Amino acid sequence: MAVLDSEAAQLAALSQGARAAFEALYHRYKQPVYANIRKMVPDPDAAEDLLQETFIALWENRTAIDPIKGAGGWLFVVSYNKAASFLKRKLREAAILEPETDLAELAVADELGDEELYTTQLALVEEAVAHLPARKQAVFRLCRFEGKSAEEVAAATGISAASVRDYLKQSTRFIREYIQLGGAPTQALAVAGLLALLELG
């Protein structure tokens, strides 16, 4: 088997069912994906379960991921959805004990299937990110899709950590406005929670 050094090569091999490629991607992304989940789910055991569910989804959808775009954005979106679904279930369970809980707030794009929701969210975020200036785009991808800290991104790009944080805030604001101005109402709903997650951490 060829050496799978690049992510594109790993994803191409994954689409053919290569376990080694899956394991390489797991080790590449498990920490940033887990960190994204923990922003929403404080319980480490539940977060670990959701991490495993996210990578099971990666395996199940291995033929649908574009090797050129990479797995980071897809995993970011799916981990958000897994965490949001977990929280929604918890709130529904609590509502059984607390009848006054307003379940209307829990209706987060329930009419969309998981795969359609992932595709919609990722396409909108990717489209918005593509409109960012090159430096901000790089910072956003490194921080949000690859889970790197501001200090790590500063070292990799040669800009200050303060500038990284500033670029990230500006980029998040731009992405939200881009989607709100250009997206259909259903699309806006599909990414509303995801954009809230971008502000965390």
Lookup result for tokens 């950590």: 161
- Kindly report the pTM of this predicted structure: 0.67
pLDDT value, residue 147: 73
pLDDT for 188 equals 56
Pick from 21, 34, 108, 115: nearest CA to 76: 34
- Overall CATH class of domain 7-107: mainly alpha
d(CA 63, CA 169): 33
Tell which CATH architecture fits domain 108-201.
Answer: Orthogonal Bundle (1.10)
Lowest mean pLDDT among 1-10, 12-21, 22-31, 63-72: 1-10
- What are 23-44's pLDDT values in tens digits? 999 999 999 899 888 888 889 9
Rounded average pLDDT over 142-158:
86
51 φψ region: left (φ > 0), alpha (ψ -120 to 50), beta (else) = alpha
CA-to-CA separations, 180 to 77, 176, 193, in angstroms, rounded: 18, 6, 13
pLDDT digits (tens, 9 = 90+) for 85-132: 888 787 776 655 555 444 334 444 443 456 666 677 777 788 888 999
- For the chain, what is the HEC assignment? CCCCCCHHHHHHHHHCCCHHHHHHHHHHHHHHHHHHHHHHCCCHHHHHHHHHHHHHHHHHCCCCCCCCCCCHHHHHHHHHHHHHHHHHHHHHHHHHHCCCCCHHHHCCCCCCCHHHHHHHHHHHHHHHHHCCCHHHHHHHHHHHHCCCCHHHHHHHHCCCHHHHHHHHHHHHHHHHHHHHHHCCHHHHHHHHHHHHHHCCC
Are both 7-107 and 108-201 of the same fold? no
So where are the chain's domains?
Answer: 7-107, 108-201
Q: What band does 167 get if pLDDT is binned at 50, 70 and 90?
A: very high
